Amino acid sequence: MALTDHNDVFFGSTDNGWTFALLNRPVAAGPGILTSAGFGPREHLGRTVYLLPPGIRGTAARTGDAIGQLLPHTLDIVELAWTARLPQAAKAPDDAHITVRGSTVSATAAGQRAHAVLTEVGFTAAGDGTLRLADDLDEPDAVGRIVRAEAHLLVEGLQVRVDLGIASPDDLPPAPHS
């Protein structure tokens, strides 16, 4: 399994700017909701991936609308799509940057407030100027800590970007059973 596979619905961004949604469990209304929001379905390595291309107008609104419509069907939704931030937020410098590379989750903080939030959710100093989550965390716990860090940073009015280490839609992980 990959970090993206533990929740009923996972929204994320590729490094090259695609916004994606994965339905990891059957959510009957999910395909219709995602396609109505403009996400195009594509078969990829045993799963259907729903994609919004880079630069499409209204990515934040489309993603938010889809999440709002999915909530009556499941509360198990994770949204870590940096591409789904409002345009003015996307232009601001990041106060925190969380990077996922394989099983390693690291972060950088531009200021004390961001550093405090990251350490509060379990990031610790790595010695190279970055912060890291413990390597022995299981993936669901790591996802939970990333989600909590992102939510807390945003509530604090800080900018955050989560880089999932997925270069393009072709690099999305296969279906969990593959």
Q: Nearest CA to 122 among 133, 114, 112?
A: 133
Mean pLDDT within 21-26: 95
User: What six digits make up the tokens of 15?
Assistant: 């490094």
Name the percent of the chain lying above pLDDT 90.
Answer: 83
Q: Which residues of 102-123 are buried (b: 16+ CB within 10 A; e: fewer)?
A: eeebbbbbeeeebbebbeebbb
pLDDT of residue 74: 97
Mean pLDDT within 29-57: 96
Q: Nearest CA to 49 among 61, 36, 57, 39?
A: 39
Taking the C-alpha atoms of residue 126 and residue 163, their distance in angstroms, rounded to an integer, is 18
Q: 24-28, 88-92, 118-122, 127-131 — which is least confidently predicted? A: 88-92
Taking the C-alpha atoms of residue 93 and residue 78, their distance in angstroms, rounded to an integer, is 23
Taking the C-alpha atoms of residue 132 and residue 124, their distance in angstroms, rounded to an integer, is 5
pLDDT of residue 38: 97
CA atoms 126, 127, 130, 131: torsion sign: positive
Mean pLDDT within 99-119: 94
Model pTM score:
0.92
Q: Would you say 170 and 36 are in contact if contact means Cβ atoms under 8 Å apart?
A: no
Q: Examine the pLDDT at 71 and tell me if it is beyond 70.
A: yes
Instruction: Give the pLDDT band of residue 90 (cuts 50, 70, 90).
Output: low
pLDDT of residue 88: 53
Helices (H), 71-138: 87-91, 112-120
Mean pLDDT within 17-37: 96
Q: Examine the pLDDT at 124 and tell me if it is beyond 80.
A: yes
Mean pLDDT within 110-139: 93
Q: Examine the pLDDT at 42 and tell me if it is beyond 80.
A: yes
Q: Examine the pLDDT at 80 and tell me if it is beyond 70.
A: yes
Mean pLDDT within 137-160: 94
Instruction: Give the pLDDT band of residue 85 (cuts 50, 70, 90).
Output: confident
